[in-house]
Structure 1
Amino acid sequence: MICLIALFLFYVQYVMSAVTLYPVKIGETLILDIGGDVREWTRIRSGVEEKIVPCSESVKTLCNVWIDNNSKVTGDGREQMNKNGTLIISDIKRSDSGDYFSNDELERVHYTADGQIWKLAKSRISIVPTD
C-alpha cells in the first residue's frame, strides 16, 4: 500500500502538469499569457478538447475561435488569441470553465552545481468562473 501511495505521489509530482486554480468573476475579461512562443492554446471543457490559433497570413479561417477535433466551431466570438501568444476571453461565462494550456509552453529546466536536473511542469490553468 505504501508503494502505491509513493508511486501515485511521484506521478502527481513529476508527470502531471502544474495545475493552477484561477477564479474569474462572471462578466470579466480573462487574459492568459505564458510566454511569447505560444502558437496555439488548448482547453478541455466537459471532456471535450478545443483549440484556438491566432489569425495570420497563412491562417485566415478558423482562427481566433475555439474549434473541436472535428473542426467544428465551438467558440462564440468572445475569444481572441494574439500573435504574441496571449489568450483573451471577454465576458467570462460559466461555460468557459475548464482547463487551459499550451503544448508550446517552453520547458523550464534548472541544472544545479552538483549535477542534478530540476524540471518544472508545464502550466495547466483551471478556470473557475465565480459570481
Structure 2
Amino acid sequence: MANAGALRVADFGLARKYGRRGEIDQISKIFAAVGTPTQDSWPGFDLLPSARMFKFSPRPGAATGRHLLRDRLLAAGCNELTDNALDLLTRMLALDPKQRITADDALNHAYFAEAPPPKDPSMFPTWPTSS
C-alpha cells in the first residue's frame, strides 16, 4: 500500500526466477502448504499433463481437523484474524479455479464490511518526494 492509499497487487505470474523459483518449484511449495489436489478438491486435476509429476501429499492438518492457514497466520502474528478474513483467504487460495472466488465476489465479501472501516487516503502519512 502506497502512502497515498494506492494498493498494488502482484501475482505469481509476475515473479522472476531466482535459483529454483520456476513454475514447478512454486507449485510444489503451494502443494506442500495446502496439500496436493484430490478428486474432491479439484476434479480433473489428474488429467492435466503435468499432474503425475507431483507426489500426493494430504492437506496439512487434515487428519487433526485443524485449519493450517489459520495456524500459520496466527504464528506469523496475525492475532486479529476474523472468521470472515479466513473465509476470504481460503476462497482466494482454492486450488481448483472453478471453486475459487471471483474478483467481484471477493470485493463484495463480508470481510470488507467489518470494523474498523478503511481510512480515507487523505489520512495516510506522506513523505516529501526527492528531487
TM-score range, shorter chain: under 0.3
TM-score, scaled relative to structure 1: 0.25
More helix by share: 2
More strand by share: 1
| Higher relative contact order structure (alpha carbons within 8 Å, sequence separation ≥ 6) | 1
Decide which structure has the larger Cα Rg and report it: 2
